[in-house]
Amino acid sequence: MEIKVKIGRPEKEKTEALVVGLFEGAKGFSREVTSLDKALSGAIREALNSGDFKGKLNQTYLIPAMAKIPASRVLLTGLGKEKEFTKDRLRQASGKSASYLSCLGLSSFATLLHHELKPVKDSSQALLEGCILGLYRFDKYKTNDKENGKKEIKEVTLLVDSKNDERGAWDGAFTGKVLAEAANFTKDLVNEPSNHMTPSIMAETAMLLAKNFKLKCQVLDRDEMERLGMGSLLGVAQGSNEPPKFIILEYNGNKKEKPVVLVGKAITFDTGGISIKPSENMEKMKSDMAGGAAVLGTFMAISGLKLPINVVGLIPATENMPSGTAYKPGDVLKAMNGKTIEVISTDAEGRLILADALVYAKRYEPKVVVDIATLTGACVVALGRHATGMLGTDDKVKALLKNAGDKSYERVWELPLWEEYEDLLKSDIADVKNSGVREAGTIAGGIFLKKFIDYPWVHLDIACTAWDSKEGPYRPKGATGVGVRLLTEFLMGWKG
């Protein structure tokens, strides 16, 4: 998509559509909208007076321009109540508008939406995020015509008032475009059927990403993992015919600093293993690699933004399958650091592959390690579908992640790691067991991971946010791409 920023008046802009935002219950118009309404012979005011358009959040109303202005049509978009307006509501309005115009078969439009928040850099970023995220569709495997006649939006023009706003609008629009495209890349990976997104294909994707963005990439195979003693990861992998892969990415934007390490769980399909899951909704278990996909998307974003930091990405990738060679409840596995693990449930496999990755992270002497994983169904019970669970040992990093979550609207909510929870995972025959009783399931997962770190660390449980069965203004059904904008915003604010 081509982005343009122009100093200009809306009533003089030649475009397929002009997007104008209006607040619910607003008494008057801005200077730009007043001039536009006058050029349209009061059509905007008439839409409000008639009650056809009320300005409710994400309401849309199309006005044919009838050759009164160079634009072919004007799309009114509701912004809701002005006192309740936020960056995310701007994302919503932008996503809704772009999707609506795409359904009309248009390929370009101009917009004034970014006028509604200051500074213009932040509003332009939110606008482009909403637009590109809202246009996302995964129709790769549909052999008929594209859904509902939607057309690709190829050009978006941001109209600004002055030279002072032009630079900020460019910077914000570029950042928003990079973040949204990286999130959509992650959605593609997660939406892929598991027969088209195996550990090997995921590793090939990482190598191609590294080539395109000049990153360092290394992929460890089963023999190399065996030499390193990654018995926990290999225990999960032994039930599948698909070979496991351990993906290592490095982004070097600062020669002096020790890196931030991102670890992403990548179970490319999770049956639950011998502790098999119910068949209902099992097809969604292709999304159990969403954490690893989010790490790949974050590397795409930070490379595009050229952030002046060092970041390492570690992605343990495997399937979790039941077979004659699969690991079983009651087995004991040995992790890379020598800790022994009693397997209670083979469906608590994500923490097992992360354990070896967290131990491996130590060799980088990291400033902090953040892992991201679809770890526990218990997180959905605890937090629903609107918040990512956060647990960790570093208060500064948790605060930065919370702030990044508020900015990106990929919000996080902290759960405790108090020592009283340690008893949940005590084993009679090994150092730790991989699953406890039903209570505090998300916390128990965090307690398990904590046993494999000795550095500042935060865990993000995205089991509740990686997949959505409901469509939103800038979020189609399916993979959400969660984690990419959150982690990138965190890294943009990282001071070391």
Does residue 199 have a cis peptide bond before it, meaning omega lies within 30 degrees of 0?
A: no
Contacts of 288 (CB under 8 A, 6+ apart): 265, 266, 267, 268, 269, 270, 320, 350, 374
Please indicate whether residue 96 is annotated as part of the active site.
no
Among 88-102, 127-141, 150-164, the minimum mean pLDDT is found in 150-164
185-492 is a CATH 3.30.70.3420 domain: no
Phi-psi region of 416 (alpha: psi -120 to 50; beta: other; left: phi over 0): beta
Domains of the chain, residue spans = 2-160, 185-492
Residue 27's pLDDT is what? 83
Please indicate whether residue 91 is annotated as part of the active site.
no
Confidence of residue 149 (pLDDT cuts 50, 70, 90): low
The domain 2-160: what is its CATH number? Answer: 3.40.220.10
DSSP code of residue 472: B
Residue 417's pLDDT is what? 97
Residue 28's pLDDT is what? 87
Among 149-153, 210-214, 317-321, the minimum mean pLDDT is found in 149-153
| Contact call for residues 452 and 337 (beta carbons, < 8 A) | yes
The string of pLDDT tens digits covering residues 355-372 is 999 999 999 999 999 999
Confidence of residue 495 (pLDDT cuts 50, 70, 90): confident
Per the DSSP assignment, residues forming a β-bridge with 389 are: 413, 461
Residue type, 149: G
| Contact call for residues 319 and 269 (beta carbons, < 8 A) | yes
- Mean pLDDT confidence for 288-315: 98
The string of pLDDT tens digits covering residues 16-53 is 999 999 999 988 899 999 999 999 999 999 999 999 99
Q: For residues 481 and 180, give the distance between their C-alpha atoms in angstroms, rounded to a whole number.
A: 9
- Mean pLDDT confidence for 375-390: 96
DSSP structure string for 475-493: B-SEE--TTHHHHHHHHHT
The string of pLDDT tens digits covering residues 254-275 is 988 999 999 999 999 999 999 9
Question: Taking all residues of the chain, what is their mean pLDDT, rounded to a whole number?
Answer: 96
Place of tokens 């195979």: 221
Residue 326's pLDDT is what? 98
2-160 shares its CATH topology with 185-492? no
Confidence of residue 145 (pLDDT cuts 50, 70, 90): low
Contacts of 308 (CB under 8 A, 6+ apart): 253, 254
Choice among 121, 351, 450, 485 that is catalytic = 351
Question: Is the pLDDT at 293 greater than 60, yes or no?
Answer: yes
Confidence of residue 280 (pLDDT cuts 50, 70, 90): very high
User: What is the three-class DSSP state of 235?
Assistant: helix
Question: Is the pLDDT at 147 greater than 70, yes or no?
Answer: no
Confidence of residue 150 (pLDDT cuts 50, 70, 90): low
How much of the chain, in percent, has pLDDT values that exceed 70?
99
| Contact call for residues 318 and 240 (beta carbons, < 8 A) | yes
Choice among 38, 277, 284, 334 that is catalytic = 277
Its pTM stands at: 0.97
Residue 300's pLDDT is what? 98
Reported as half-sphere exposure (CB side, CA atoms, 13 A), residue 418 has a value of 5
